[in-house]
A and B are shown apart, each in its own frame.
Chain A
Amino acid sequence: MTDDCDHNRLLLQAEHDGELNPANAAELAAHLAACPACAATRLEMAELSRRLRAEVPYHHAPGALHARIAAQLAATNRAPTTPRMPLHRQLPGFAAGLAMAAAVALAILPMRGADIGDQVVGSHIRALQAAHLVDVASSDQHQVKPWFDGRLDYAPPVRDLAAQGFPLEGGRLDYLDGRPVSALVYRRARHAIDLFIWPAASHRERAPAGRVTSGYNLVRWSEGDMVFWAVSDLAQQELDEFVRLWRSAR
């Protein structure tokens, strides 16, 4: 082995990794032609890469972790982030911080099977408190609808009711019953209306069609294969009117 080999090993590796500068390619080719040891190393490196990919496990994120992170991101898109102490100041409480992070993620995961109506109201209240009702702010249904493309595995219907006194304000991605769902936001004077829409197949619904929870009015209906929940602090009569208009609009 020579100094020349040392130098060429890195060139050899760069070639293997697709990083070889063309200016060095000729130099490497000349060395390889004259040095069987480096030529052999080149083959070994290729074989090692092949074996690494074939024999060494790739650790995909477990499904539960994926769900926790997705819920956390969806929640973040509704609430402003709060600055935290730099990590090095938290040591040695780092483990505690990790536990807290996990606890936060669990806390924001809605309990499966918990009452959907309560979850709907809870999501509406969180969005209001965080002053984050919309991810996409637009009164144009043709902008709001495509925004959900790729964010959901279904296409929620979007209708504008501006002419009828319920202008569309936008939409956001929410998280209910363990799955991402669409929420459309409408405005009536100073009142916000959240309209949650998701495929009916995702759970069985036994809740009553209309009710009051924590001072918020709720109306549920289904249309085609979608379930709809409207929630607002509007008077029940006005919310019913909104629902009637929404269902008759096309």
Chain B
Amino acid sequence: MPQDGPLPPGLEQALLGNLNAAHNLARWLVRDPAAAEDVVQEAMLRAIRYAASWRGGDGRAWLLEIVRNTAHGWLAARRHRQEVPMDETPGAEAPDPAPDPEAALSGRQERLGLAAAVAALPVELRECLVLREFEELSYRDIARVTGVPIGTVMSRLWRARRALLGTRAERIEA
């Protein structure tokens, strides 16, 4: 059946069908309700603009890749403006700390709720964890969304989980 709409057939349904996943990812990445909505809105505009790059299917990984990149753009713009982050769940006072923060984090995790512990993970670990645990993406799709090799996805997932398991895991390893 001919379809002369600007959006390829099925894309509108795919975008709406993955709206919750898009919002959940944006919310976990920017950690601010209003900013998450802005990011989703902007990501949808981009998805519409890049409609030609959609390869059919449920479009989940395709859309989440756009959402992820939009969210990182937002985070970079915020850093650029040197604004104070708006969210601040307890324990997230040092967002996205520098290299190998897991050891410092892990002692703190046990005093926090699990949700706050996830929010306090460095963003590159947090996005892998959210995509795997909440969206149940395959390693391959997570690699695509986050733009790193599968091996890196596996090690980031492991680091995220180890940080959440906290000191108990460290004890077992000792």
Which residues of A are in contact with B by a Cβ distance under 8 Å?
1, 9-10, 13-14, 17, 19, 37, 40-41, 44-45, 48-49, 51-53, 55-62, 65-66, 68-70, 72-74, 76-77, 79-81, 83-84, 87-88, 91-92, 94-95, 97-99, 101-102, 104-105, 132, 134-138, 143, 147, 150-151, 172
Contacts and interface: CB of A to CB of B under 8 A. Distances in A.
Contact of A102 (B5, B13, B41): B41
Q: What's the interface size class on B, roughly?
A: 35 or more
A51 B49 contact: no
A76 B48 contact: yes
A73 B7 contact: yes
B115 A77 contact: no
Contacts of B27: 59
Contacts of A45: 161, 165
A69 to B, nearest CB: 5
Contact of B12 (A14, A61, A77): A77
B58 interface: no
B44 A72 contact: yes
A39 to B, nearest CB: 10
Contacts of B42: 97-98, 101
A12 to B, nearest CB: 9
Contact of A1 (B23, B157, B173): B173
Interface in B60-80: 70, 73-74, 76-77, 80
Contacts of B105: none
Nearest to B113: A55
Contacts of A73: 7, 12, 15-16, 44, 48
Contacts of B49: 81, 83-84
Contact of B74 (A13, A17, A80, A94): A94
B23 A59 contact: yes
A13 B158 contact: yes
Given A44-B165, A69-B16, A150-B13, A132 B5 contact: yes
A72 B19 CA distance: 13
A53 B133 contact: yes
Given A102-B41, A150-B13, A61 B157 contact: no
Given A59-B23, A76-B6, 8 more contacts: A14-B139, A19-B138, A56-B115, A62-B37, A69-B44, A76-B48, A81-B48, A136-B3
A34 B73 CA distance: 47
Nearest to B129: A52
Given A41-B169, A77-B6, A92-B81, A69 B161 contact: no
A41 B168 CA distance: 10
Contacts of A70: 16
B115 A57 contact: yes
A135 B23 contact: no
A95 B77 contact: yes
Given A52-B114, A69-B40, A81-B48, A60 B15 contact: no
A61 B37 CA distance: 8
Contact of B2 (A53, A59, A102, A137): A137
Nearest to B154: A10
Contacts of B28: 59
B22 A61 contact: yes
B74 A138 contact: no
B134 to A, nearest CB: 6
A55 B23 contact: no
B111 to A, nearest CB: 15
Nearest to A44: B165
Interface string B11-54: 01101100110111001100000001111111011101101000
B19 A76 contact: no
A3 to B, nearest CB: 13
B98 interface: no
B145 interface: no
Residue among A9, A40, A172 with the highest chain B CB neighbour number at 10 A: A9
A76 B8 CA distance: 11
